[in-house]
Amino acid sequence: MLKSLISIDDLSEAQINQLLKKAQQFELNHHSDQLKGKVVASLFFEPSTRTRLSFESAISYLGGSVIGFASADTSSQSKGESLEDTIRAISQYADAIVIRHGEAGSASRAQAVSGVPIVNAGDGSNEHPTQTLLDLYSIQSTQGGLEGLNIALAGDLKYGRTVHSLVKALTRYRINFTLIADDYLQLPQDLVKLAQDSGCQVQFRSSIGQLDKQDILYMTRVQKERFDDPAKYFEVAGRLKLSLEDLVDTKETFRVLHPLPRVDEIDLAVDKHPAAYYFEQVRNGLYVRQALLYTILNG
């Protein structure tokens, strides 16, 4: 039984499939009272648009209530309270806690002291497992399945937590990965090894290049907030930009995904191309987060 979700590795393939199936039901009808009487705390110590509001929307559509904050400045962390004490306190008021925090490992620390389930909504550059659920849902919906696909990941593969969780999940599905990044922003070696040891093909590129064999291109923003040295950010940012010309030879079923927010890595002209799927992808976040909360609180 699913209690907390800290890493995508907490979910078996069967549990992922169950969550994606449940999300399909919520796509057909996302209004219900299945969380009636439940209170979920939404603790965002780091900025968010999609993750926070889709969780809060998911809870509201299911008849539950939300408490929480959208910025660390409005919590007692600004008076020096530790993360652990904050979690101990809030777990007295809520049936589950959704947390985003700038430090890798923070969700795991929260789980260690919480009396209620914890959902990791992004911990530093480590993981973002609920984004992965909506990414998997989006890939499955557009490709008809997850097995054996050609998937290119581009941008900031070093600091991008959405990429880290997604690669971990996709290694279960015999994916052919193409990793498109500046050398400095390439995927951490432990994740490359995990993919290779799992039987996935892994190719490396430093520019977008040919996309004719790809089923999915997963673009990402260079994560400015993770750089200790701003000069290094300005050195590597802006090198990859997807434009309409890159999409001329793509398959009819090919789709461009992006966890968003984007900065300048996708030209605005791409938004009108039939392969652009990133705003539909945003909506899928509502359904998978409904499925997750339903499963944790009622499943």
Q: Is 79 annotated as catalytic?
A: yes
- Report d(CA 45, CA 35) in Å as an integer: 25
Q: Is 50 annotated as catalytic?
A: yes
Cα angle value 64/295/116 (rounded, 5°): 70
C-beta of 242: minimal distance to ligand CP in Å? 17
Nearer to ligand CP, 48 or 75 (CB): 48
CA distances from 57 to 30, 43, 65, 284, 285 (A): 10, 15, 10, 12, 10
Strand order from edge to edge, sheet including 65-69: 65-69, 39-44, 96-101, 118-123
Q: Which residues pair with 276 in a beta bridge?
A: 256
Residue choice 7, 48, 132, 250 for contact with ligand CP (CB under 6 A) = 48
> Count residues contacting ligand CP (CB under 6 A)?
9
Q: Is 100 annotated as catalytic?
A: yes
49 lies in the binding site for ligand CP (CB under 6 A): yes
- Report d(CA 215, CA 139) in Å as an integer: 9
Looking at residue 133, its amino acid is L
Structure token pair of residue 93: 């008021």
Nearer to ligand CP, 102 or 188 (CB): 102
C-beta of 162: minimal distance to ligand CP in Å? 6
Residue choice 4, 7, 42, 51 for contact with ligand CP (CB under 6 A) = 51
Instruction: Choose among 223, 228, 219, 221: nearest CA to 270.
Output: 219
Catalytic residue among 38, 51, 109, 220: 51
Piece in contact with ligand CP (CB under 6 A), picked from 21-29, 90-98, 222-230, 258-266: 258-266
C-beta of 100: minimal distance to ligand CP in Å? 7
Q: Is 262 annotated as catalytic?
A: no
Question: What are the residue numbers of the active site?
Answer: 50-51, 79, 100, 128
Chain residues that interact with ligand CP, rule: CB under 6 A: 48-51, 122, 131, 259-261
